[in-house]
Structure 1
Amino acid sequence: MRFYSKSSKYFKLIFLLFVILILVSCIGIDTNISFNKDGSGKLSIQYKISKMVVNLGASNEEALIVPLPVSKDDFKRSIEKTKGLELLSFKQSEDEDNIYITAVIGFNKIENFKEMKGFNSMPATLKKQGDLFLFSQRIATKPEHIPDKDSLKMIDALFKGYKISFTIKAPKEIQSHNMGNLSPDKRTLTYSIPVAELVRIKKDTYLNLSWQ
Structure 2
Amino acid sequence: MQFFSVPISEAQKYLVPGVVQQGISGPVVVQLEQNPTPPISTSRVLSPAAAEAIRSHLANVAADAPSPIVVIVDDSIPDSAEYAKSRSLLLEISEQIRDKYKLGSSPYVGELLSQPSALVAEDPTTLYPNARTHSALIKHALVEVTELDPNNRVTVVYIPLAATQVGVAPLLKELLYLAQILKVVRPEPPRVLRRPAGLSQASTAEA
TM tier, shorter chain?
Answer: under 0.3
Looking at secondary structure, tell me which structure has more strand per residue.
1
Greater relative contact order (Cα < 8 A, sep 6+): 2
Instruction: Find the structure with the greater CA-based Rg.
Output: 2
Please state which structure has a larger fraction of its residues in helix.
2
TM-score normalised by the chain length of structure 1: 0.23
